[in-house]
């Protein structure tokens, strides 16, 4: 992988969770809602993904594409309205 390539993972939905919860596709830690954002404006990443989640787990820091996981949620916009 070159310095300009950015590897990303595919976020997962936490099954059986009372509130919509996404997991890091690399380490399976919970992705904080404060670190899930739309791929636009100041948060623009050079990848074909509408929603990005950054893992805050120690020794991870993976960039996750959340599009597939968000599509599985009944109300994906709820993720942006809840506090972490």
Residue pair 70/83 in contact by the 8 Å Cβ criterion:
no
pTM attached to this predicted model: 0.81
Contacts made by residues 66-71, CB under 8 angstroms, sequence distance 24+: 66/11, 66/22, 66/31, 66/36, 68/10, 68/11, 69/10, 69/11, 69/12, 69/13, 69/22, 70/22
Q: Is the predicted pLDDT of residue 70 greater than 80, yes or no?
A: yes
Spans of all domains in the chain: 9-81
CA dihedral sign, ordered 34, 35, 38, 43: positive
Report the side by side order of strands in the sheet with 36-38: 9-10, 63-65, 51-54, 36-38
Mean pLDDT of 59-67: 94
pLDDT of residue 81: 61
2-53 pLDDT tens trace: 344 568 999 999 998 888 899 999 999 999 989 998 888 776 778 889 999 9
């Amino acid at each position: 992988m070159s310095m300009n390539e950015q590897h990303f993972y595919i976020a997962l939905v936490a099954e059986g969770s009372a509130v919509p919860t996404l997991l890091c596709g690399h380490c399976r830690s919970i992705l904080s809602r404060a670190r899930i954002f739309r791929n636009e404006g100041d948060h623009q990443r050079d990848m074909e993904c509408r929603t990005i989640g950054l893992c805050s787990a120690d020794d991870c820091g993976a960039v996750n594409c959340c599009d597939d996981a968000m599509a599985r949620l009944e109300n994906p916009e709820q993720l942006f309205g809840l506090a972490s």
